[in-house]
Amino acid sequence: MKTKKIVVVSDSHGNTQALAKLGKQFAAKADLFIHLGDDSLDAKALPGSKEQVIAVPGVFENSYNSPKARKRVLCEYCGVKFLLTHTPRKHGNDLPGDPSPEELAKNTNTDVMLYGHTHIPKIDVSPDGIVLINPGHLKIGDDRGKPMSYAVLDLAQDKFEAKIYKFEDDTLLIKYP
């Protein structure tokens, strides 16, 4: 059975050293790296080709205000449908006509919404049964009382496990299921 390991980060805010460390740590193990914005250009510090790194812009990036920006990305791996977005709900910086992440997730039968923005690591399940995962942040130091963190998703056909780790020492913070 095909499996996939995905490393998810968000809100690096210029901390490319942290991304480079994770890239080195997971280069041989990860099939995909996902950066959820602020600053998505930091994703250049991650290893791999364009097919191995997906990034969406954050609300404080200039590209977020472009009608051409891919602010919400739908993708599927091992039968699990994902929505990648910087914010978990509509934001004041969204353009008119930008879809609401919650509505988009519902209307596309999304299994997992990956989001950032709050800098708070969290795994929750919406009333609609959508798994909501925020990997936290990689901004230097503690932010909003939370240490730097990242998520690792292990997928097999129609199944997945999510873990959020403290960046400093790889201590497990949250696990789903």
Residue for token pair 């609300």: 59
Share of the chain above pLDDT 90, in %: 90
pLDDT (tens digit, 9 = 90+) per residue, 53-78?
Answer: 999 999 999 999 999 999 999 999 99
Q: Where are the domains of the chain?
A: 3-176
Confirm whether pTM is higher than 0.85: yes
- What mean pLDDT is reported for the chain? 94
Helix (H) or strand (E) holding 39: none
Range of weakest confidence among 38-47, 117-126, 136-145, 158-167: 136-145
| CATH for the stretch 3-176 | 3.60.21.10
- Model pLDDT, residue 145: 87
Q: Cα(78)–Cα(80) distance, rounded to whole angstroms?
A: 6
**Dihedral-angle region of residue 158 (phi above 0 means left; psi in -120 to 50 means alpha; beta otherwise):** left
Residue for token pair 């990036």: 61
Report the amino acid identity of residue 126.
S
What does DSSP say about strands 53-55 and 80-85: parallel, antiparallel, or unpaired? Answer: unpaired
pLDDT band at 142 (very low <50, low <70, confident <90, very high): confident
Check residue 98 and report its DSSP letter.
P
Q: Is the pLDDT of residue 18 over 70?
A: yes
pLDDT band at 49 (very low <50, low <70, confident <90, very high): low
Contact 78, 157 (CB under 8 A): yes
Q: Cα(165)–Cα(172) distance, rounded to whole angstroms?
A: 5
